[in-house]
Amino acid sequence: MSALSSFIENPRNTMYDGEDNDEKILYVIRRSRITNLSWILLAVIMFFVPFLANPFLRSFKVAGVSLVSIKFVIIFTLSWYLATIGLAFFNFLNWYFNVYVITNKKIIDFDFFGITYKNITETTLYNVEDVTSTISGPFHTIFNIGDVFIQTAGEKREFDFVLVDNPGKVRDIISDLVAEKRDHHGNN
């Protein structure tokens, strides 16, 4: 499985701060890769804007002299591409590092916003009370993308896995792990 996958089963060489010694990461889940199409398309369009804008800017002339200097066009173009790269990089990092992790003991939600803020929420499988998945809209139905809502008895009452691939499978995985944990706990 690729590190860029939106659903990674039994990831190798993966760990997180606060992981218990006897804990094993079973799944790493991200938003569906198809949800990246909007910002990728925007970045592609932004890439071509200078090819259209620069000749237009250079066309403004008075008495045969361009009103927009070549120096301005170069600075505009470099600034535009820097902004385009920044937008693409920010959106990629946002997709890549906002993950949901399911271990043999816990569910962890890693939320990163930019490079200056992160929020990590976790609950034990034993605290999970209900797991629901939803798919809404024709686009999500066609591509089997939806949300998984996990009700818990913990401090954070609900975990939301937003826009994940195959939400029914994710719901079943969590429900099976919770049932297994409760059966195992009840037998001890």
Question: Which residues 6+ apart lie within 8 Å of 127 measured at CB?
Answer: 152, 153, 154
Q: Could you report the per-residue pLDDT of 153-177, keeping only the tens digit for each?
A: 866 678 999 999 999 999 999 999 9
Q: Taking the model in full, what pTM does it have?
A: 0.86
Write the pLDDT tens digit of every residue in 26-43.
Answer: 999 999 999 999 999 999
- What pLDDT, in 10s, does the model give residues 85-115? 999 999 999 999 999 999 999 999 999 887 7
- Spatial distance between the Cα atoms of 75 and 80, rounded to a whole number of angstroms: 8
Query: How does strand 117-124 pair with strand 7-9?
Result: unpaired
**CB of 43 within 8 A of CB of 178?**
no
